[in-house]
C-alpha cells in the first residue's frame, strides 16, 4: 500500500505541474498579444481554471499528507496559433491523468475521488474549447 501511495503522490505532482504551468505569465504574455478577443477569452478562462485546479490539488495533497514539489516551468512554443495544439494536448493529458487517478486510487482517495472525476470533466471541456483553434495540418501523421 505504501508504494501505491507514493505512486499517487507522483501522479498528483504531475497534474500539479501541468496546472501550474498555465499560471506562468511570461510564456503567455508574448502570444496573448497576437490572439483575437475570442481566443483571449478562452485562454484566460483556461488560466483561471488551471489556477483553481492548482489550488484544489494543493488542498488535496495537504489532506492526503503530501507535500508537493515546486513545479518546473512548462515552456511553450508560440509561433502562431499552434499554441493551441500544445494546450489541447495538455488538456487531454490532464483529463486522462485525472481519470486514471480516480480509477486506480479510489481506495486511497475515498470521497475525494469525486474531485478528480470533476477535474477530468473540466479538462475535457477545456479541450473542446480550444479544439477549434488546433491546426489540423499538424495532426496529420
**Structure pTM?**
0.85
- How far is Cα 74 from Cα 18, in angstroms, rounded to an integer? 8
Domain locations along the chain:
2-69+78-139
> What tens digit of pLDDT does each residue of 7-30 get?
999 999 999 988 887 656 545 665
Start-to-end C-alpha separation, the chain: 41
> What tens digit of pLDDT does each residue of 61-85 get?
999 998 888 766 656 555 555 778 8
Class at the top of the CATH hierarchy for domain 2-69+78-139: mainly alpha
Amino acid at each position: 500500500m505504501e508504494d501505491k501511495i507514493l505512486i499517487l503522490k507522483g501522479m498528483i505532482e504531475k497534474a500539479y505541474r501541468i496546472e501550474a504551468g498555465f499560471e506562468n505569465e511570461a510564456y503567455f504574455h508574448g502570444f496573448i498579444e497576437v490572439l483575437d478577443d475570442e481566443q483571449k477569452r478562452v485562454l484566460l478562462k483556461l488560466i483561471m481554471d488551471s489556477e483553481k485546479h492548482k489550488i484544489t490539488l494543493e488542498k488535496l495533497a495537504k489532506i492526503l499528507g503530501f507535500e508537493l514539489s515546486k513545479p518546473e516551468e512548462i515552456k511553450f512554443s508560440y509561433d502562431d496559433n499552434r499554441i493551441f495544439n500544445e494546450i489541447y494536448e495538455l488538456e487531454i493529458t490532464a483529463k486522462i491523468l485525472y481519470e486514471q487517478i480516480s480509477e486506480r486510487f479510489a481506495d486511497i482517495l475515498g470521497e475525494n475521488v469525486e474531485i478528480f472525476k470533476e477535474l477530468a470533466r473540466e479538462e475535457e471541456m477545456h479541450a473542446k474549447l480550444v479544439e477549434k483553434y488546433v491546426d489540423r495540418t499538424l495532426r496529420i501523421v
